[in-house]
Amino acid sequence: MASLVTCPHCGARPKEEFTVKGAALVRPAPDADKKSWMDYVYLRENPRGRYEEFWHHSSGCRRWLVVIRDTATHEIEASRDAALAGQTDART
């Protein structure tokens, strides 16, 4: 059976319906130095353990979610609507 992600709007859905966008990154200023742009474009943290990521429900309600996932086991702990900051997580 496919891994399921609980969408606060659509309920439990297959993970294939979502596009993972990762953590929010701060874009450098247009006149930033080359190192800042290299870091922004190519370098990403690769944490082990609990991690919050932005996911887009691209084949469903098309809403942005914040998904809490364990990067070692890929187990999804919780999800919430990204637009509703500060509200309780929808447990999976």
List beta partners, residue 76: 69
Encoded amino acid at 28, one letter: P
13 contacts: CB under 8 Å, gap ≥ 6: 4, 5, 6, 7, 57, 60
Write down the pLDDT at residue 91.
46
The predicted pLDDT at position 62 comes to 97
Q: Rounded to the nearest 10 degrees, how much is the dihedral formed by the CA atoms of 71, 52, 63, 60?
A: 20
| Tens place of pLDDT per residue across the chain (92 aa) | 468 999 999 999 999 999 998 887 789 999 999 999 999 999 888 889 999 999 999 999 999 999 999 999 989 999 999 998 655 444 44
Domains of the chain in start order, with CATH, are: 4-91 (3.30.2270.10)
The answer to whether the beta carbons of residues 78 and 38 sit under 8 Å apart is no
